Chain A
Amino acid sequence: MTKYISSTINHFILSIGLLIMVVPIWIIFASSTHSSLFINTNGLQFFLGDNFIDNYSRVLFKQSGFFNEITALKMFLNSFVMATGIATLSVITSLMAAYGLVYFKVKYATFIFWLIFITLLVPLELRIMPSYIVMSKLNLVNTFAGLILPISASAIATFFFRQFYKSIPDELLEAAKLDGTNSWSFFIDFLIPLSKTMIAAVFIFMFVFGYNQYLWPLIMTTSEQYWTVVMGLKTMYGSISDRFAFVIMSMIPPVIIIIFLQKLFIQGIFQNK
């Protein structure tokens, strides 16, 4: 009986939390299915309207931007390329950095690690001028490489992998050595499969981080061809229902990534517990 009561209370609290999270999104979604005129006169809507297909297809395919050079679809593509690039490169660089720091006899490895860790205190926004100058000298303004490279190494991901590698017993390496593995095959055959879940977690974090970038792409791109979704959110779309439709669509890519990697993601976060 007490079990039943406590479970009811738990579910009640969880339901309230869920409502707080979901209701605003629902209101945006419901409002996005009405015409702008209707919302301007009647305020935000809780129930669905009948302009869903009209609004969404218009937003997706309409030429927009200051010079009408880009569609929302292209922005999604840009954001996707940028976020995937950042996530993939971050995973690769931090996996390898951690491997070097933990498994090789690097002099001052701890010191180097802390140096990497300190870069957490220097976010992109702080080094935006030098980063821009470097990228422009490399002729990477208005390219995906320019968008991706300066954010493609992550101290926090290196930290996660390093801690994980340290928790792997030395005997595993020793057994593998006797079985004839070399540094490269140990990395490929052991460390990567063992850190699979952690890779998924880091990938998601970095994907969302890359997807949410605003200032850097704003500075790095002068051509509308490279606009990202987040830039679009800020600058585009006069009519209110179009904006709402765009907001709803902008949430979809990260959600898809999380749905696909959810299981691995959760295992990855709790790996060391």
Chain B
Amino acid sequence: MSFLELQNITKIYPNGTKAVNETSLNIDNGEFVVFVGPSGCGKSTLLRMIAGLEDITNGEISLDGNVINNIDPSERDVAMVFQNYALYPHMSVFNNMAYGLKNRGISKEEINNKVNDVAKLLEIDQLLTRKPSMLSGGQRQRVAMGRAIVRNPKIFLFDEPLSNLDAKLRNQMRLEIKRLQRQMGVTSIFVTHDQTEAMTLGDRIVVINNGVVEQVGTPKEIYSKPNTKFVAEFIGSPQMNLFNCKIENGIAHIADMRINLNNSANIDDASLGIRPDDILISDNGQHTCVANLVEYLGSDMIIYSKIGDQEFSCKLSSKINLNAGDTFKFDISNTLVHLFDNTNGSRV
């Protein structure tokens, strides 16, 4: 039995919106799982149901062997870091962190020790007497984490905690969250819409779309073998190219381009996916295209081009000399492509 088990969880809001649909998931003790998906996909709802902040319409959640559907959030022993931190504005940093402990009837001395230890760990021990309004965004973030850590809960829940920080701080906090989670070994669930965060943080990633889990797997599995067209498009930056095509006897027809897939598939309406960095550009490539636009990114550049009327992009080293308007030759290797059936979006 897993540490946290979700069984056929469904959430229907009173107005009839189905936010989460028949979701089942097992999470092991100590694991760092990331829920990722576009906004409004139900990932936050799922997290809030685990926290106990939303009722569960259907299904069962069990934590550490106990069903927690009807257990009050305060008794679930979960801690949550909110997107806007939700610090208590009238309490000092110390009291923000100590409040949950006080409610558990822990002795003053122990609270003191715990808060001080965690404050040192997060390097906020100089700020303990300040009010949240006197802190910077990054410091507030640390206090919010400290408030969660100090309680030593069974599970950490993070609800897009980095989205209010600037890019530099976000990377820094991301690393720190990862380091802390490793160090403490507490099971964590992190919700984000940012696929980079998902890829870098998670031991496992759960890709959610329209209230349905599209794929669960390690970052590597999800990147290299996306189960559905949605996952293929959502994970990876720049986005995977998807060409609408017809496949006859294992040969994909994209406009007047032919790609031999080395199988015997026959699909009328398919999508052929290839990551921009998997397109091999060489002088003796089979296919020829014109670069419509070139984006220079420093070490890399991205070339936008078209096959027939379908746009695609390729990513290559900026050492290659290629300008907008130039023609270039490339190959698409059949070992690097992903094939999806357009009728149901699933991988072939």
Binding site for B on A (CB under 8 A): 169, 171-172, 174-182, 185, 189-190, 193-194, 196
- A179-B74, A180-B103 known; A174+B90 contact, CB < 8 A: no
Check A189/B80 contact, CB under 8 A, given A177-B53, A181-B74: no
Interface contact B99-A193, CB-CB below 8 Å = no
Q: Which of B80, B88, B89, B90 contacts A178 (CB 8 A)?
A: B80
**B100 CB contact (under 8 Å) in A169, A178, A193, A196:** A178
Asked if A194 contacts B89 (CB within 8 A), the reply is yes
A169: chain B residues within 8 A (beta carbon): 84, 86
> CB-nearest residue of chain A relative to B82?
A171
CB pairs A–B below 8 angstroms (25 shown):
A171-B84, A171-B86, A172-B88, A172-B89, A174-B53, A174-B82, A174-B86, A175-B80, A175-B87, A175-B88, A175-B147, A177-B53, A177-B72, A178-B51, A178-B53, A178-B74, A178-B80, A179-B100, A179-B151, A180-B75, A182-B74, A190-B90, A193-B90, A194-B89, A196-B90
Q: How far is the CB of A272 from chain B (nearest CB, A)?
A: 15
B319 on the A face (CB < 8 A): no
Chain B residues in 8 Å Cβ range of A185? 103
CB 8 Å contact bits of B81-106 with A (1 = contact, 0 = none): 01110111110000000011001100
A22 CA to B192 CA in the complex, in Å? 62
Contact residues in B for A175 (Cβ distance below 8 Å): 80, 82, 86-88, 147
CB-CB < 8 A to B88: which residues of A?
Answer: 172, 175-176, 190
Q: Which residues of B are interface residues toward A (Cβ below 8 A)? A: 51-53, 72-75, 78-80, 82-84, 86-90, 99-100, 103-104, 147, 151
In the complex the two chains form, what is the Cα distance from A167 to B89 in whole Å? 13
Q: CA separation between A133 and B51, bound complex, in Å?
A: 54
What secondary structure prevails in chain A residues at the interface with B?
helix
Q: Which residue of A is nearest B74, CB measured?
A: A180
Dominant SS among interface residues on chain B = loop
Residue from A180, A181, A194 having most chain B Cβ neighbours under 10 A: A180
Q: How far is the CA of A99 from the CA of B79 in the complex (A)?
A: 26
A193 vs B74: C-alpha distance in the bound complex, in angstroms?
22
| Chain B proximity of A191: nearest CB distance (Å) | 10
User: Which residues of B have CB within 8 Å of A181?
Assistant: 74, 99, 103
Most buried by A among B78, B79, B84, B89: B89
Q: A176 contacts which chain B residues (CB < 8 A)? A: 88, 99
Q: Are B74 and A177 in contact (CB under 8 A)?
A: yes
Q: How far is the CB of A184 from chain B (nearest CB, A)?
A: 12
Report yes or no: A189 in contact with B100, Cβ–Cβ below 8 A. no
Please give, as numbers and ranges, the residues of chain B lying within 8 Å of A196 by CB-CB distance.
90
**Distance of A176 Cα from B86 Cα, bound (Å):** 9
A178 touching B79, Cβ below 8 Å: yes
Question: Chain B nearest CB: distance from A175 CB in Å?
Answer: 4
Partner of A177, one of B73, B89, B147: B73
A177-B52, A178-B100 given. 20 additional CB < 8 A pairs?
A169-B86, A171-B84, A174-B51, A175-B80, A175-B86, A175-B88, A176-B99, A177-B72, A177-B73, A178-B51, A178-B73, A178-B74, A178-B79, A179-B100, A179-B103, A180-B100, A180-B103, A181-B99, A194-B89, A196-B90
Residue of B nearest to A181 (CB): B103
* Chain B residue at minimum C-beta to C-beta distance from A168: B89
Task: Report chain B residues within 8 Å CB of A182.
Answer: 74
Contacts of B82 in A (CB 8 A): 171, 174-175
Q: Which residues of A contact B72 (CB under 8 A)?
A: 177
Is the pair A194, B74 in contact by a Cβ cutoff of 8 Å? no
A179: chain B residues at CB < 8 Å are 74, 99-100, 103, 147, 151
Which residues of B lie under 8 Å from residue A190 when comparing CB positions? 88, 90
Cα distance A269–B114 in the bound complex, in angstroms: 39
Residues of A within 8 A of B90 (CB): 190, 193-194, 196
Closest CB of chain A to B84's CB: distance in Å? 6
Is the pair A189, B74 in contact by a Cβ cutoff of 8 Å?
no
The residues of B that contact A172 with a CB separation of less than 8 Å are 86, 88-89
In the assembled complex, the Cα of A177 lies from the Cα of B103 at a distance in Å of 10
Chain A residue, CB-CB nearest to B48: A174
Q: In whole angstroms, what is the CA distance A175 to B90 when docked?
A: 14
Name the CB-closest residue of B to A171. B86
Q: In the complex the two chains form, what is the Cα distance from A182 to B103 in whole Å?
A: 9
- Docked pose: A169 CA to B88 CA in angstroms: 11
Complex contacts, A189 vs chain B, CB 8 Å: 99
Which chain A residues lie closer than 8 Å to B103 at the CB level? Answer: 179-181, 185
Cα A176 to Cα B88 with chains together (Å): 8
Distance A194 CA – B104 CA, assembled complex (angstroms)? 23
Q: Please give, as numbers and ranges, the residues of chain B lying within 8 Å of A177 by CB-CB distance.
A: 52-53, 72-74
Q: How far is the CA of A171 from the CA of B86 in the complex (A)?
A: 6
Return chain A residues, CB-CB under 8 Å to B52. Answer: 177-178
**Chain A residues closer than 8 Å to B99, beta-carbon distance:** 176, 179, 181, 189
Shortest Cβ gap from A198 to chain B (Å): 13
Assembled-state Cα–Cα distance A182/B80 (Å)? 17
Q: Kindly list chain B residues whose C-beta atoms are within 8 Å of the C-beta of A174.
A: 51, 53, 73, 80, 82, 86
Once bound together, how far apart are the Cα atoms of A180 and B103, in whole Å? Answer: 6
